[in-house]
Structure 1
């Protein structure tokens, strides 16, 4: 067949990397190449090693691809198979347009391909594409397609943010010594950060059996939650080939009560941070608030401008709002996680899920 949509193979790697290079340039392609083994061979959530996704092939050449990242979703304490995070589709659109013109001339019905929802819709509808599909931080065009094929917004998911410090903002305009000094004063007029009432530690080294125990506890308190055992956390946050993260933890009587994983980035010349993961034993709001408070305190000392937290948990959202966070909106709407063929009352999701962070 001259035109084909099929499940991707690891042997498609050169063409997928080449497609990334054509569309996004060398830097993004080199990063994808360097992360390939980590992403597609070392992830403990993989049922089988190798690239997971869909490709569109025309005249023997890959002209579009879409990664499907295993979610490791547990529903009512048990793993639900065939659940993936889908990423924005990657396409060499000049070749795609030529392929579609050729396909229309030959007759879509004869080829047995339904393009009524567009090419990306045809990928998502393909029988080899995993049944349960999740998506977040998608571009507007990708969201349109997701809705067209039947995806819906998961209730209660969104992003919360608050200003932490004005030191970097003023330092950028006034120079570091003066800006930092005035920023220290200006920070006093921002929403206050409570004093820590309990010791919070910086967890260094690998995630251990205590994190397995905490995840087992989480399965009892969250009806739908993605995998967060020690193996997954070590792969995601300790073995990542091009990023490093801070981990804050709280323990009582030797028992891990919760953790927070922090990632830093720069935007508009200002230091910012994301809460990539956050979990508390028994879904305890006191522990969540304690971790967030310590995170804010440390970031203010560093002069980080803004902290963001993406979550689907009402308890986490309540803790955030009590500390001065407000929900971020995009064009007046919350920043959604979309789900397809999946109905759960609450989805415990964070920015670190999928390809986030």
Structure 2
């Protein structure tokens, strides 16, 4: 930014999404461009109850164009025994030509912070990267909850072969992949499945799922509302539709749910195909998490996945299920810090928020993967 440049920080207004999305694609999208339909799904079709979505999106203008954005993702959140409004910071970016002035960033945050009072937002939480974390701790009042455990398991021995011997013929890679798939499916299914548990792929979150949600939600003092309306929006109405969903049953009753996604991304393993565990919700019946995770791993192996990855706070009751299914804590892969900021000082008990044992978060809580 030059000394002569001036800028204006303001609320979002209808039509801004064209410039916001253009800037998002220019700065953040490396592999593919996000469509306006995806933006509308994310920000305007979100089922969280808001007074005005403009209170969650702050933009900055300079030289007659949008040059930055600070946005919050509104989330209906279970806090103890009530539902409160929460803000999850997402898509904070500034055009490279204007990054020399930290005032732009700070003014966007302060304007967004003011807007939360118009929406009765109780608190915010997020998973900032290293730079955002340092800025947030020093200037924005972020407080720590802790680090998420990164859980992973290898699902292919083709991956190291391709990295070390990329010159090998494709036919050999294909043969190794077939052998790898055969080996890992045997390994995954070495332990006998529980005959009274069945797992099925589903295409919607229906009233039966809501019965599961209404039981599971009481296990945690703090978690995002994951009722059928939210889950259908989050995973089935997203324009790119890239998720697989499975339910576990005992008899006719749904006992658990898992949501999966396959990505080609180098965040966790450079050059690998990765299977993400987006959601895992289960009753405390023995064997349910493991059966769902075994189904997930079989699906990933069939999809040519090299590693499966999940994130979880280490005190979550689901951790043992992951370990029993063959996952290991791999904190050397990537560290996700989790932070919070209280807006409603009178209504929110900070002792509840800062205790990681109270939370349930997974990849599904991240800025929509």
* TM-score normalised by structure 2 residue count: 0.79
Residues 262-301 of structure 1 aligned to structure 2 (within 5 Å): 262-267=260-265, 269-281=271-283, 283-284=284-285, 286-301=287-302
1:231-266 per-position Cα deviation (integer Å, ceiling 9, x unaligned) = 111111111101321111112232211100000112
Structure 1 contact 88–142 (Cα < 8 Å) conserved: no
> 2:316 aligned to 303, 314, 317, which one?
314
- Within 2, Cα distance between the matches of 1:41 and 1:356? 14
Instruction: Show the counterpart of 1:69.
Output: 73
Further displaced range: 300-309 or 177-186:
177-186
SS at match of 1:202: strand
Instruction: Show the counterpart of 1:261.
Output: 259
Q: 1:185 to 1:210 in 2, by over 3 A?
A: closer
Deviation at 1:218, TM superposition (A): 2.0
Q: 1:289 to 1:157 in 2, by over 3 A?
A: same
- Within 1, Cα distance between the matches of 2:281 and 2:185? 29
> 1:179 aligned to 176, 181, 197, which one?
176
Deviation at 1:31, TM superposition (A): 1.2
Structure 2 contact 181–302 (Cα < 8 Å) conserved: no
Deviation at 1:212, TM superposition (A): 1.4
Deviation at 1:60, TM superposition (A): 5.2
Structure 1 contact 166–186 (Cα < 8 Å) conserved: no
Structure 1 contact 260–275 (Cα < 8 Å) conserved: yes
Q: 1:150 to 1:273 in 2, by over 3 A?
A: same
Q: Which runs of 5+ in 1 are unaligned?
A: 101-114
- Tell me whether 1:33 sits opposite 2:24 in the alignment: no
- Tell me whether 1:145 sits opposite 2:156 in the alignment: no
1:71-92 per-position Cα deviation (integer Å, ceiling 9, x unaligned) = 22111131112x1111242101
Q: 1:303 to 1:61 in 2, by over 3 A?
A: closer
- Tell me whether 1:6 sits opposite 2:10 in the alignment: yes
- Within 1, Cα distance between the matches of 2:285 and 2:9? 46
Structure 1 contact 328–334 (Cα < 8 Å) conserved: no
SS at match of 1:147: helix
Q: 1:6 to 1:330 in 2, by over 3 A?
A: farther
Instruction: Show the counterpart of 1:154.
Output: 145
Q: How many residues align?
A: 334
SS at match of 2:146: coil
- Within 2, Cα distance between the matches of 1:328 and 1:119? 37
Q: 1:351 to 1:197 in 2, by over 3 A?
A: same
> 1:86 aligned to 85, 89, 95, which one?
89
Q: Which runs of 5+ in 2 are unaligned?
A: 1-5, 343-349
- Within 1, Cα distance between the matches of 2:77 and 2:23? 30
Structure 2 contact 289–321 (Cα < 8 Å) conserved: yes
Instruction: Show the counterpart of 1:135.
Output: 126
Further displaced range: 249-258 or 293-302:
293-302
Q: CA RMSD in A?
A: 3.1
Structure 1 contact 53–65 (Cα < 8 Å) conserved: yes
- Within 2, Cα distance between the matches of 1:35 and 1:19? 15
1:68-120 per-position Cα deviation (integer Å, ceiling 9, x unaligned) = 11122111131112x111124210131354xx4xxxxxxxxxxxxxx6xx543
- Within 2, Cα distance between the matches of 1:184 and 1:352? 27
Instruction: Show the counterpart of 1:229.
Output: 227
